[in-house]
Amino acid sequence: MKPNILVAMTSVAVLLGATSASLGQVAGSTQLGVAAAELREITSGWSAKRQILGQSVYNDKNERVGQVEDIIIAPDKAVSYAIVGAGGFLGLGKHDVAIPVNQFKVKDGKLVLAGATKETLKAMPEFEYAR
């Protein structure tokens, strides 16, 4: 079974939403953390750290065009963008761009961004974190 990246990233958002809701609770008001049944469900999902972050991104010609550097979660807890590092070597000349998660597909276990090339990603506006 090959889930698409949108499903994977949505699973991460649900996990983060559940975790942040639990962490914001006042001691004694409700149970902290997750129940054992929820934990089993969570472990069957995708891990952003193990299965998405740092993964190479390929185009539809099976050419490596970048790497997933980060995932942006909107205030409504929806995963909306993947930050893809395009180009650069050892951090020099690196160009991060934001790509909507619905543009990714998983094909043969690889993250695919159809129509992308290193040049088209480098031509996109560079993503910079808000300060």
Question: Strand pairing partners for 105?
Answer: 112
Question: Cα angle at 57 between 85 and 55, to 5 degrees?
Answer: 80
- pLDDT, tens digit, for every residue of 84-125? 998 766 656 789 999 999 999 999 989 999 999 999 999 999
- pLDDT, tens digit, for every residue of 4-38? 454 455 545 444 444 444 444 455 566 788 788 78
pTM of the shown model: 0.67
Q: Please check whether residue 83 is in contact with residue 68, taking contact to mean a CB–CB distance below 8 angstroms.
A: yes
- Domains belonging to the chain, first-starting first, are 5-123 (2.30.30.240)
Report how far residue 61's alpha carbon sits from residue 26's, in angstroms, rounded to the nearest whole number.
Answer: 52
Closest CA to 64 of 55, 76, 53: 55
Neighbours of 113 (CB within 10 A): 21
